[in-house]
Amino acid sequence: MQILSLLLIPILGAVIGFSTNVLAIVMIFRPHKAWRVFGIRVPFTPGLMPKEQTELARKIGETLRDNVLTQETLIEAASNTHIVDNIVAMVDTAAEKFVNNPKSIGEMCATLFNRNEDEIAEAAVTYALKGLGMAQNLPAKAADALRGRGDDFRRVIVNIASDAVEKAVKNNKKLGDLIPNRKDTINGIKSLLYANTHRIEPLVRRLLDDPAIDAALRGLTEKLVKANAGGLLGMFVKPGKIYDNIRNGLLEYLASPDGQDNIGDKLAQWLDNLLEMDVADLDLAHKLTRANTENWLDTALHNFQKALTDEHVDKLQAHVHDLIETHSTTIAQKTVDGALALVPAEILANVDYKTHTAAATRGLVGVLAQKAGQHIVGALDIAAIAETKINAFNSKEIENLVLSVTGKHLKWIAMLGGVLGFIIGFLPALMTGF
């Protein structure tokens, strides 16, 4: 009986210590809402976490902003090889999926923007015409380039042409491979040839009417007659009349529709044969070095710019403006349709995109961290994002989240309250000597 009375107080102390600790832990999370009796809020309701959730969310957001996701953190991450390698791997995977996608660019854009392909094409054409200001900007830029304002015009043309020539020589391509968009370009040249064959007759006539040329040709005809007709026959042959007949027959042929068609056919055939020739067959490999090509093109373009007067350039600018105004919609439509019909694999068939993507990603990560880190952090507004997300949790979710991490420790704290209560309850018995 005496032992039971001695243990009663420690046991009660243990129960009270354990219960008060459990109650304190529960009151951290519960009740989730305030309790009211006759309209009066019961003290300590709601629990600590639900009551201070808004303030807690604000403090966590500020801590993340000021101490976790800072510009210094971004710079440190950008120099971490493991992190950068993971980012490169992610980008490489995305790029590979893009390249292997069988859909066309138009189909992918339609899916991305939730529009049909016709709407995508129409928007692209509108942007090209209005957004880029083709009719306003291109003629003026072309005129500035032709006037020699800066070296950009010559540099771009020289680089493009030199690259094409260098590749053609190295890869033993045909001469026609140097021409971009070969089929349409050659067809355009042929159409231009056929459309201008009627200009050959007036040009030849003007040349033959030149006194110096006329005298030279008549003299040449006379020499040929004397050399081939012999002495006796030459007395009856009149070189002047022979020349006049040849001249008139040539001009009549050049002026006739059949003659002009035949000339157009011959020129087109000559052009086809020329473009089918291998660059190597022209024996130009030793002449068409990169340096020689660049020097020749740069000199030619420089002389061309010098020869142009302001009047020529103004007329050309007006002509280009009129052409763009007239044909810009058609040009833009064909360009957009061709671009949207392409499949990524076609575009990147000869491009080592993985190497370029990896290099670009590594460089971009470093640049963004160094140059734009503060702007990125500011634009993201980490504090506001964290605060909003935490406030979006309900009280039960927060309770489960905290208990999933600290549940075991809180149980030990509750048990520690029981142990301390038992010890404190047992101290009077020890002090009185039982």
pLDDT per residue as tens digits for the range 4-46? 666 778 788 888 888 888 888 888 888 888 888 888 888 878 8
Q: For residue 125, what are its two tokens?
A: 């054409």
Poorest-pLDDT segment among 4-18, 369-383, 398-412: 369-383
pLDDT computed for residue 215 by the predictor: 84
Asked if 255 and 201 touch (Cβ cutoff 8 Å), the reply is yes
Residue 233 has pLDDT above 50, yes or no: no
pLDDT computed for residue 161 by the predictor: 65
Confidence of residue 2 (pLDDT cuts 50, 70, 90): low
Whole-model pTM?
0.36
C-alpha closest to that of 138 among 334, 336, 340, 328: 328
pLDDT computed for residue 44 by the predictor: 79
> Which residue did the predictor score with more confidence, 325 or 104?
104
C-alpha closest to that of 200 among 271, 246, 263: 263
> Which residue did the predictor score with more confidence, 110 or 295?
110
Across residues 267-272, what is the average pLDDT? 84
Q: Could you give the percent of the chain with pLDDT greater than 70?
A: 68
Backbone φ/ψ region at 43: left (φ over 0), alpha (ψ -120 to 50), beta: beta
Across residues 225-241, what is the average pLDDT? 60
One-letter amino acid of 253 = Y
pLDDT per residue as tens digits for the range 311-369? 766 777 677 677 666 667 777 788 788 888 888 887 777 777 778 788 888 777 777 76
